[in-house]
Amino acid sequence: DAGITQSPRHKVTETGTPVTLRCHQTENHRYMYWYRQDPGHGLRLIHYSYGVKDTDKGEVSDGYSVSRSKTEDFLLTLESATSSQTSVYFCAITSSGGAGNEQFFGPGTRLTVL
């Protein structure tokens, strides 16, 4: 199994509070991604990174920011959590940006915003 961990695995928070989710990899892969999974929507890309300090937006980036100061860590921050951000969040990695490369996924973080 690819070495990808996510923390925390579960979190309950209140509307308006900031939340940071962490993705840590031991594979030294260059590309990292944050997705959210919601019933009926599949996986939707929030942000991705193609190297240290290099990030870009995905299709559902509003309300989220990311940072990558080290190859192994990719942080997702909800600046002011809202109930619509209740979801399961997955981190994924690939070794390169080629279109044929498979993604390796972390175990997910279940976030509930009350």
Q: What is the contact surface with another protein in residues (CB under 8 A)?
A: 4, 33, 40-45, 48, 58, 90, 92, 97-103, 105-108
Question: What is the DSSP code string of 7-69?
Answer: E-SEEEE-TT--EEEEEEESS--SEEEEEEEETTTEEEEEEEEEETTEEEE-TT-TTEEEEEE
Q: In angstroms, what is the minimal distance from the CB of 20 to another protein?
A: 20
Q: In angstroms, what is the minimal distance from the CB of 4 to another protein?
A: 8
**Which DSSP symbol is given to 85?**
G
Tell me whether residue 15 or residue 101 sits nearer to another protein (CB atom): 101
Q: In angstroms, what is the minimal distance from the CB of 35 to another protein?
A: 8
Tell me whether residue 16 or residue 97 sits nearer to another protein (CB atom): 97
∠91-9-102 over CA atoms, to 5°? 25
Cβ atoms of residues 67 and 61 within 8 Å? no
Q: In angstroms, what is the minimal distance from the CB of 15 to another protein?
A: 26
Tell me whether residue 51 or residue 97 sits nearer to another protein (CB atom): 97
